[in-house]
């Protein structure tokens, strides 16, 4: 099973607070942003660099710039909770959106919106906090590949083995970066132990 779980103490600390059912939406949003920053560093650690001269206040030296553009694509709506951290970290990032809605009875996602920038040779960060069955991620990856994406990293908060195995089999070229590989799915196809419905907790739309 190919998945990169970020084993950083701060990742574990923030994830625990996200899991806590008592965490209120405002704090949940702040924690999601902090965690995404850490995940984004891991998801981009292999980006190529180009050298160029730079003048410091003291003398010339050699500097480095990112040599590959970044495209961030959140899956609506929960993926929006991860977007601000990416746009803060990568100021030149281009942003696309894919709208998928999961049927709670069948766990099958329905597409309702798609808007993508030119992708070309960009590193595409697919943002979706919960990799459960892998159905939504697989649909989104298919859309990205059809749009020309060849370098895709799926960035998520928690993942279930079922979803990871599906993506590994269907899209072996796609990297998965997560804060945790959880135990699995329950009979409602929710990740356990998980952290509940990420979108509801992000925006305070779930039952209290």
The domain spanning residue 171 has which CATH number?
3.40.50.2020
Pairing of strands 175-181, 109-115: unpaired
- 56 within some domain: no
pLDDT value at 208 more than 60: no
**Structural contact between residues 176 and 126, judged by C-beta atoms closer than 8 angstroms:** no
Q: Which domain holds residue 21?
A: 4-46+69-203
**Which of the two residues, 120 and 176, has the higher pLDDT score?**
176
Active site residues: 102, 106, 197, 200
- 179 within some domain: yes
Look at residue 188 in the predicted model and tell me its pLDDT.
Answer: 87
- 58 within some domain: no
Look at residue 204 in the predicted model and tell me its pLDDT.
Answer: 83
Look at residue 186 in the predicted model and tell me its pLDDT.
Answer: 94
- 55 within some domain: no
- 17 within some domain: yes
- 60 within some domain: no
The average pLDDT across 55-83 equals: 95
- 64 within some domain: no
- 188 within some domain: yes
pLDDT in tens, 87-130: 999 989 999 999 987 666 665 667 788 999 999 899 999 999 99
pLDDT value at 21 more than 80: yes
Q: What is the pTM of this model?
A: 0.92
pLDDT in tens, 154-175: 999 999 999 999 999 999 999 9
How many structural domains are present in the chain? Answer: 1
């Amino acid at each position: 099973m190919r998945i990169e779980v970020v084993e950083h103490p701060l990742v574990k600390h923030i994830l625990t607070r996200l899991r806590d059912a008592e965490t209120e939406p405002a704090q949940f949003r702040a924690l999601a942003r902090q965690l995404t920053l850490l995940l984004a560093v891991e998801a981009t650690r292999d980006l190529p660099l180009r050298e160029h001269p730079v003048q410091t206040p003291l003398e010339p030296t050699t500097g480095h710039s990112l040599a590959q553009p970044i495209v961030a694509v959140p899956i609506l709506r929960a993926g929006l909770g991860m977007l601000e951290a990416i746009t803060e970290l990568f100021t030149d990032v281009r942003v696309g959106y894919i709208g998928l809605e999961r049927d709670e009875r069948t766990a099958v996602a329905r597409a309702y919106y798609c808007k993508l920038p030119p992708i070309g040779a960009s590193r595409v960060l697919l943002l979706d906090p919960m990799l459960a069955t892998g159905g939504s991620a697989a649909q989104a990856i298919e859309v990205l590949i059809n749009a020309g994406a060849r370098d895709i990293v799926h960035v998520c908060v928690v993942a279930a083995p079922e979803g990871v195995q599906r993506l590994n089999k269907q899209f072996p070229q796609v990297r998965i970066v997560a804060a945790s590989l959880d135990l699995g799915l329950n009979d409602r196809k929710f990740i356990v132990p998980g952290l509940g419905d990420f979108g509801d907790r992000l925006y305070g739309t779930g039952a209290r």
